[in-house]
Structure 1
Amino acid sequence: MKNAIVMSLLTVVLFFGCTKDPIAPAELSSNPLLSQLDKDIDALVQKHRNALNTVGMTVGFWKDGESAIYGYGETKKGNQQVPDAHTFFEIGSITKTFTATAMVQWLNEKGLSLESPIQPFLPNSIPTLSKDGVMVNFKQMLNHSSGLAYFPSNLNLLLNDDAKELARYSEAKLFDYLEKGKLNATPGTTYEYSNTALGLAGTILARENKMTYGDYLRLKMCEPLGLFETKAQLSAEEKIRMADGHRGGKKVDLWESLGALDGAGILRSTTSDLLKYGAVCLNPPNTPLGRAMSTAQVSTLKNAKNLIESVEVCLGWHQLKTADKTGTLLFHDGGTGGFNCSLILDKEKKLVLAVCYNSYNGGSKAEAEARTALNHDLLLLLR
């Protein structure tokens, strides 16, 4: 949810608070240091280690059908257990890529277009969501050009406990905000990253299909793709494999529910599943779901107000050219109260990179730069 937007090559924009003193992952690792690649990846992690500000982390990649996952630090502070391929992390806004794909598939099933207005799928009490005579459509809702705010104004995360406040954010509150609020810009003209919009997309999917967002995503997307470790709610056994989240070195509550904003960032996943998801995105199957995945990866917004020139927006995803202009990166970052994850796809090199941290330390510049630099260095190494 606390999203990191890539600029030159994953330059991070962060949104919350100040960090406390930096912490480094404990001197624990599952990296076997056998191959030259093992050693090179370890050298990059060690290069940035002190500034990464995390209790634990994983680095995983998939390329040409081969994958590897390396763990560093601890799943819970002081437990001496290194995170592995099947450790669960909150993946935050990476959820948005799932929401957008699921919405595209649902629209196709309904015979609707991305250009269709969202208004018919909202309660009658909500005035037409429009500005300057332009109504919000599904494409704009999914590519952050709807004019809907970053967060609804009646959700105050700066003064309340994140986890509890989000869990209390009901459909009634979301619809009350939509009844009283106004769009910040004419739909389709301005890039404004919006948890509100993608949360609303998830709520529409849940309401129209008479089930929770998590159940809908499980049935329509995760299970068909074999992503059995990507879900909104964990079983008792899976909770044992859930890492603790940390902020400023201290344990924080997990985000068990985002209420009506689930579609913006509720999912938990493992590094193994993120790599599997990325690999399928690089080569979607010839199925209704696969075609929806392909559609979600097509650029739908560029050269818009507030959008960095090198970045284009797809549906749920962002993309940009590599620094050497030889490839296209599809990416999303995800941050919650105690976690941060990055998922990056290199479409030309058929490469997937997933980096997960069980710490979100408030968005210090040094931490952001270190995590960005590690992503950059890993991509250069693996390409």
Structure 2
Amino acid sequence: MKKFLLTLSLILCIVMAYSQKSAIPADNKLQTKLDSLVNKSAIPFMSESSRVGLSIGIIKDGKEYFYNYGSTQKEKQILPTASTIYELASNSKTFSSTLLARAVLNKKVSLTDDIRKYLNQDYPNLQYDGTPITLLNLANLTSALPNWMPDSRELFAKANPDSIAYLLDAVHRKYSRNQFYTDLHKVKLDTIPGALARHCNTAAQLLGHIMETVYGEKFGTLIRNQFTTPLKMKNTVLLGNGKIPASMAFGYDAKGGKMPFIDWEDMQVAASIASSTSDMLKYIKYHLNEKNEDAKLSHQPTTGDIRKGAIALNWKITKPENGPIRISHTGGSLGFSSYVVFSPEMNSGIILFANDSDMKTQNELIKLAEMILY
């Protein structure tokens, strides 16, 4: 009998421990197969010590589904909703690319235009052996420009790793658009534009600025007039001047430190759009419908191997051997991670937001999307 009671006690302890680990706040009703699939995928993700909150929006066969886990902040428990706002970070770049596609279709620009046509000063340095940087090079990551300006690598090399995010924030809060263009004169390209695809925030900044010039409007006005108003995206904003929406989640690093928001003047056009799952499904719906010619143009591969991941106008285009074409983009800031992927062939897509940013979060979001959608 004693042995039986000890065994029973041990089993109860294990069950209780598992239940406590699994007791993650969520609004998943667990009533459908999709509910169960999402939960089976989300719980292991949320069980990582660095996780704070997770919001998922899915469109499948024309229907929308929303799931939320964890909290909008570490300091107190507030379950996120479909209206909770997260930083898009680099997913902001796809808005500029859609603007570029519209400008091409409206014959305002050509993808082969030398970018210097749209700059106010002379930049003889923005070419390599006579080959200039084009608008296409800005949008498909082949500009050969440096990833960041200013180059702060020397400052960061001497810093405590835990302080780098705050140093980066301090640098860019003082770095104006005028300083950006002054430093652009000092850039020396190390390869021919178009030859090599690599991540480049500088290119995204320039593309956003050039779109302002082409359309004759500030970026925030462009986002409002071209996207948020016509698509009725009521929770989507361009961060700036320290103005943070009341429904904004807080972002954290891998150790749980609260991170600054990316509302820097120089990076605003490349990384400062913030949105919710409900709004981003509206944006995904627009891109799923390739009768929208600007969406279709922005999805056309321009460089790379589609089997491994080609680049269109900022979007990554992948065609697995036995699956539909997938159009995707990741986003990572000081305290947020995001991933969007959709397939016009399947008429399905997913947006995932996490308000933490450790070294693994973006890859884990990609895995989540694969498990849930494909």
User: The TM-score by the shorter chain falls in which range?
Assistant: 0.7 to 0.9
Partner of 1:317: 315
User: Structure 1's 372 and 352: CA in aligned 2 closer, same or farther, altered over 3 A?
Assistant: closer
Partner of 2:373: 379
C-alpha deviation, 1:27, in angstroms: 1.6
Q: Structure 2 counterpart of 1:44, which letter?
A: S
* Cα deviations by residue, 1:213-241 (Å, 9 ceiling, x for unpaired): 12222112332222232220389997221
Partner of 1:36: 33
C-alpha deviation, 1:333, in angstroms: 0.7
Q: Secondary structure at the match of 2:249?
A: coil
CA contact (8 A) 2:205 2:267 kept: yes
User: Structure 1's 238 and 74: CA in aligned 2 closer, same or farther, altered over 3 A?
Assistant: same
C-alpha deviation, 1:175, in angstroms: 1.2
Superposed, 1:157-306 pairs within 5 Å as: 158=156, 159=164, 161-233=167-239, 239-247=245-253, 248-257=255-264, 259-284=265-290, 290-303=292-305
CA contact (8 A) 1:60 1:275 kept: yes
Partner of 2:73: 76
Partner of 1:126: 123
Q: How many residues align?
A: 344
User: Structure 1's 236 and 96: CA in aligned 2 closer, same or farther, altered over 3 A?
Assistant: closer
User: Structure 1's 199 and 234: CA in aligned 2 closer, same or farther, altered over 3 A?
Assistant: closer
Kindly indicate whether residue 344 of structure 2 is the aligned counterpart of residue 350 of structure 1. no
Q: Secondary structure at the match of 1:275?
A: helix
C-alpha deviation, 1:371, in angstroms: 3.2
CA distance in structure 2 between the partners assigned to 1:359 and 1:25 by the alignment: 19
C-alpha deviation, 1:25, in angstroms: 9.6
CA distance in structure 1 between the partners assigned to 2:365 and 2:168 by the alignment: 23
CA distance in structure 1 between the partners assigned to 2:211 and 2:109 by the alignment: 14
C-alpha deviation, 1:63, in angstroms: 1.1
- Give the stretch that moved more between structures: 330-339 or 175-184: 175-184
* Cα deviations by residue, 1:333-363 (Å, 9 ceiling, x for unpaired): 11111100100012221111111001112x1
CA contact (8 A) 1:151 1:196 kept: yes
Q: Structure 1 counterpart of 2:315, which letter?
A: W
* Cα deviations by residue, 1:249-304 (Å, 9 ceiling, x for unpaired): 121121223x233222110000111111111101045xxxx32222111111125x
CA contact (8 A) 1:126 1:175 kept: no
Q: Structure 1 counterpart of 2:260, which letter?
A: D
CA contact (8 A) 1:102 1:221 kept: no
* Cα deviations by residue, 1:164-219 (Å, 9 ceiling, x for unpaired): 43333322222122201112320111111111101111112234545431222211
Is there any run of 5+ residues in structure 1 with no aligned partner, and where?
A: 1-23
CA contact (8 A) 2:125 2:189 kept: no
CA contact (8 A) 1:230 1:267 kept: yes
Tell me the percent identity: 25
Q: Give the TM-score, by structure 2 length.
A: 0.84
Q: Give the TM-score, by structure 1 length.
A: 0.83
Partner of 1:5: none
Q: Secondary structure at the match of 1:344?
A: strand
Q: Secondary structure at the match of 2:258?
A: strand
C-alpha deviation, 1:99, in angstroms: 0.7
Q: Secondary structure at the match of 1:260?
A: coil
CA distance in structure 2 between the partners assigned to 1:351 and 1:368 by the alignment: 20
